[in-house]
Structure 1
Amino acid sequence: MENVGKLFGVGVGPGDPELITVKAVRVIKEADIIFTAASTKNTYSLAVEIASPYISSDASIEKLFFPMSKDVKEVESAWIKNASQIAQVLKQGKKAVFLTLGDPTTYSTFGYILKKMKCVMPDANIETIPGITSFHAASARLNRILVEGEESLLVTSGAFGGDRIRHVGSVENVAIVKAYKNIEDINKALKETGLDNRCVAVSKCGRENEQIIENIDALEKRTPDYWTLILASK
């Protein structure tokens, strides 16, 4: 199978095109085809926008649709379909890149692709290229140390509220990504666990319209923004 191509899962970082690694830039420039995730409700891809300075004019861009649904069969079917589409490209001997925001192994759609590729094309040549996460970018933007000494750090999603935060135990620092829809419950959980002492939210980090919100209660009065994260410490 010498003619088989290769798939790269590439993290493009949190939003600033200058925060893409040198290796990721090289791979993007060399790609025959660029894959990116899109929802059935929104075809726009921030990942493509971030990587656009490095995408060759000869490369084609394909959007893979991932339904925002609770129907397990519908979702599984979409994942298999997308992985099969990528497999067909690899069988043509092409170099494919799947772009993802932040890091490909951290709350990333690429994780689903990786799992399904093992089903549809077990011998596929795949390489994952790490990217800078949103919480690392936010801590750098704030000149704030995420963790030091013997401290621990919990990275969790706030998409379904603050229950994960309520079980942090002895964890001193928390990074909450996807802090948008259930912010009221997230705020409540932070206060219950004493993590509201040093708490700050960052929206659209490193991008135009970036906002730093030091009063997290104010988040409850804002229109929910998917690109919001919270850093909190005891």
Structure 2
Amino acid sequence: MGKIYGIGVGPGNKKYLTLQAVEVLSSVDYIFVPKNRDKNMALDAVIDLIDSDKLNYLEYPMKHMTTAGYIKNAETISKLLSGDKSGAFITIGDPMFYSTVMNTFALLDESIEVEYISGIPSFVYGAAACKRPLAFTGEALMVLDHVPEKFIDGVDNYVIMKTYDLDLEKLDFIEESGFEYSYIEKGSLEDELILENKEEILTRKAYMSLLILRRCKRTDENRA
């Protein structure tokens, strides 16, 4: 029976790879890598630690991935892992969060054993980098891939992923709703950027970016 590991490689810098991820990557027969036109952050994070002869590229367009595409990739993996072969599918961040791994593994041949290896999500790294807590005890945190039309009462902390389409209207809405925010782009990489100035943020259109929002506390609450 074949086995596949879904491995999260963390925010992008190889320093944040887990020891378990490194161990598994060195032991498997195949390493599956999402192929797209942009820079492959997942592969860049592990390239110095793996045998490149193990690499198998799978097509995953950044936008408009179809069900047929997922099925084709799952069939490719299932075929290669027939018998007792093992493989690892690498993904940026964590394999159980906004990941193509989940969609693909759901379509694998039932004979393939599946295991997931966690990685540090970009927003967890980003919170530490910008020194903005994600949530204190008793608080709620909501993670979205867009700026909501309305913020929920009682949720004081938000993460907005993939903020390449931010505009003045959205940032004004965030501020008017009572939130402070930090912008993190390409977290953990050499060209990491952390901004809190609205005008500077509006000049950025990077896909690998996010906002961490925290609701401002009223002065009388702070004094209580």
Same fold (TM over 0.5): yes
1:210 matched to 2:210: no
User: What TM-score do you get using the length of structure 1 for normalisation?
Assistant: 0.85
Equivalent in the alignment of 2:174: 190
Q: What CA distance in whole angstroms lies between the structure 2 residues aligned with 1:69 and 1:144? A: 30
Q: Which of 69, 73, 78 lines up with 1:82 in the alignment?
A: 73
Post-superposition shift, 1:192?
3.8
- SS for the counterpart of 2:89 is strand
Q: In the TM superposition, what is the alpha-carbon distance from 1:185 to its structure 2 partner?
A: 4.8
Q: Is the 8 A contact 2:132 2:212 kept in 1?
A: no
Contact 1:163 1:189 (C-alpha < 8 Å) held by counterparts: no
Matches within 5 A, 1:1-234: 4-39=1-36, 42=37, 44-57=39-52, 59-68=53-62, 70=64, 75-117=66-108, 121-158=109-146, 162-163=147-148, 166-195=150-179, 198-222=180-204, 224-234=205-215
**d(CA) in 2 for partners of 1:36, 1:44:** 12
SS at match of 2:81: helix
Q: How many residues align?
A: 215
Structure 1: runs of 5 or more not aligned: none
Contact map agreement 2:9 2:16 (CA 8 A) in 1: yes
**Alpha carbons 2:130, 2:182 under 8 Å: kept:** no
Q: Which amino acid aligns with 1:230?
A: L
Which segments of structure 1 move beyond 4 Å, counting only runs of 4 or more? Answer: none
User: Is the CA contact (8 Å cut-off) linking 1:35 and 1:97 kept in structure 2?
Assistant: yes
Evaluate the alpha carbon distance shift between residue 60 and residue 43 of structure 1 in structure 2; reply closer, same or farther with a 3 A threshold. farther
- Deviations 1:17-42 (CA, angstroms, capped at 9, x unpaired): 01111111101111211111123xx1
- Change beyond 3 A, Cα 1:44–1:139: closer
Deviation at 1:178?
A: 0.7
SS in 2 for 1:174: strand
2:202 alignment partner, SS class: helix
- Going from structure 1 to structure 2, the CA distance change for 1:83 and 1:206 (only over 3 Å counts) comes to same
Please give the per-residue CA displacement for 1:119-160, whole angstroms capped at 9, x wherever unaligned: xx12310101111000110111123321112111111112xx
Query: 1:69·1:75 contact (CA, 8 Å) conserved in 2?
Result: no
Question: Contact 1:33–1:96 at 8 Å: present in 2 too?
Answer: yes
Q: 1:213 to 1:78 in 2, by over 3 A?
A: same
Relative distance call for 1:152 and 1:79 in structure 2 (3 A) is same
For the 8 Å contact 1:16–1:206, the answer to whether it is kept is yes
8 Å contact kept, 1:30–1:56: no
Alpha-carbon RMSD across the aligned residues, in angstroms, is 1.8
Mapped to 2, the partners of 1:185 and 1:105 lie a distance apart of 32
Shift of 1:76: 0.9
Amino acid across the alignment from 2:49:
Y
